[in-house]
């Protein structure tokens, strides 16, 4: 069965059935086997969103999580302007870069 077939089947489900499927998928992800070969000092990379990859060194690990000291970010990340703090302002342009 391909992902396309699964998506096709999902489109015929009711919202209640979709919530049940989502809950089952969440349980499968939560119970998935955690890689045991990730150690403190490892250089790792991971995608946080489509097209945005973070790279860094593992500082510590628990049974399911790793604390990573980030040293590189690649890609584009869209964020709410309320959550952004300007550290150094770019020079003003005549046309401006603002979108309405």
Return the number of other C-beta atoms located less than 10 Å from residue 97's C-beta: 7
Mean pLDDT of 2-6: 89
Q: What is the mean pLDDT of the chain?
A: 87
Residue 38 · residue 66 · CB < 8 Å? yes
List the chain domain ranges: 1-32, 35-77
Q: 68: buried, middle or exposed (CB in 10 Å: 19+, 13-18, 0-12)?
A: buried
Phi and psi angles of residue 44, each rounded to the nearest 5 degrees, phi first: -130, 160
Stated pTM of the model:
0.55
């Amino acid at each position: 069965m391909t992902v396309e077939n699964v998506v096709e089947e999902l489109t015929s489900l009711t919202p209640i059935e979709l919530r049940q499927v989502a809950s089952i998928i969440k349980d499968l992800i939560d119970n998935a086997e955690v890689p045991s070969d990730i150690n403190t000092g490892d250089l790792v990379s991971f995608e946080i969103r489509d097209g945005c990859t973070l790279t860094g060194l593992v500082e510590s690990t628990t049974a399911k999580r790793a604390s990573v000291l980030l040293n590189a970010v690649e890609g584009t990340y869209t964020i709410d302007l309320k959550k952004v703090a300007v550290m150094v302002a770019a020079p003003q342009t005549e046309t401006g870069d603002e979108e309405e």
